Amino acid sequence: MNNKVVGYARTSTMGQDLGLEVQLKAFEYYEPNKVYSEKISGRKEDRTELKKALSSLEKGDTLLIYNLSRLSRSSKQLVNLMSELSEKGIYLKSIQESIDTSSPSGRLFYTVLAGIAEFEAENISIRTKEALARTDKPLGRPKISYQKERQILRLYKNKKLRIKDIALRTDVSEKTVYTIAKKHNLSRKATCKDD
């Protein structure tokens, strides 16, 4: 069985039809078995046609794109997609950048890109930790005082106020009211007051 080539073309907006035409014309030289195209932002995670293209590929097949920006707008997302392809034994060919991961130079490009993405992720982690170490403020939600928790429980047990009203009166979120009630094994049956 011959390995297939599947094309994926994308433009960000409806007004970029010419961009889609250019991509599809460039694909003709490679004679793809199937082409998927869509008009959607490259930053969107839920790209239906890309998912279809990826699911149609098997080990030894090639995903053909016009350029890397058609596949992804972020280097992290690009590395993740390329890793997914690599793990499945699927090659990536980008026409404009002359990248072909079936070749040694294409695999080198992928390795360098993955290394840069990992380096940047580590740098972000280090900068975040350093910034947190310099601040005196504790992270997370502020703790609810014992007095406030008692007040919430008293109002909750009274059943005269809706959860929303208890939250407003005690200056906490509705979720906090539910969390405190659950912590004390309290629950309310749905009543007209709580809808």
pLDDT band for position 194 (50/70/90)?
very low
What is the pLDDT, as a whole number, of residue 6?
Answer: 97
- 161 neighbors 153 (Cβ within 8 angstroms): no
Res 22 pLDDT > 80? yes
Quickly count: other Cβ atoms within 10 Å of residue 141's Cβ: 9
pTM equals 0.60
In sequence order, what DSSP letters do the residues of 46-104 get, joined into one string? --HHHHHHHHH--TT-EEEES-HHHH-SSHHHHHHHHHHHHHTT-EEEETTTTEETTSH
- 85 neighbors 92 (Cβ within 8 angstroms): yes
- 62 neighbors 94 (Cβ within 8 angstroms): no
- Catalytic residue selected from 12, 37, 69, 75: 12
What is the CA 49 to chain-centroid distance, rounded?
17
Res 142 pLDDT > 90? no
What pLDDT digit, counting tens, does each position of 39-98 carry? Answer: 887 677 778 999 999 999 999 999 999 998 888 877 778 888 888 999 999 999 999 989
What is the pLDDT, as a whole number, of residue 17?
Answer: 52
- 6 neighbors 92 (Cβ within 8 angstroms): no
Distance CA 90, CA 85 (A): 5
What is the pLDDT, as a whole number, of residue 166?
Answer: 92
- Residue 75 appears among annotated catalytic residues: no
What pLDDT digit, counting tens, does each position of 155-189 carry? Answer: 999 888 899 999 999 999 999 999 999 989 888 76
Rg, the chain, Cα only = 27
DSSP state of 42: T
Distance CA 23, CA 84 (A): 23
Residue type, 8: Y
What is the pLDDT, as a whole number, of residue 37?
Answer: 93
What is the pLDDT, as a whole number, of residue 195?
Answer: 43
Q: What are the beta bridge partners of residue 93?
A: 64, 100
- 66 neighbors 19 (Cβ within 8 angstroms): no
What is the rounded average pLDDT for all residues in the chain? 86
Distance CA 178, CA 78 (A): 41
Above pLDDT 90, what percent of the chain? 48
Q: At what angle do helices 163-170 and 174-183 cross, to 10 degrees?
A: 100
What is the pLDDT, as a whole number, of residue 191?
Answer: 46
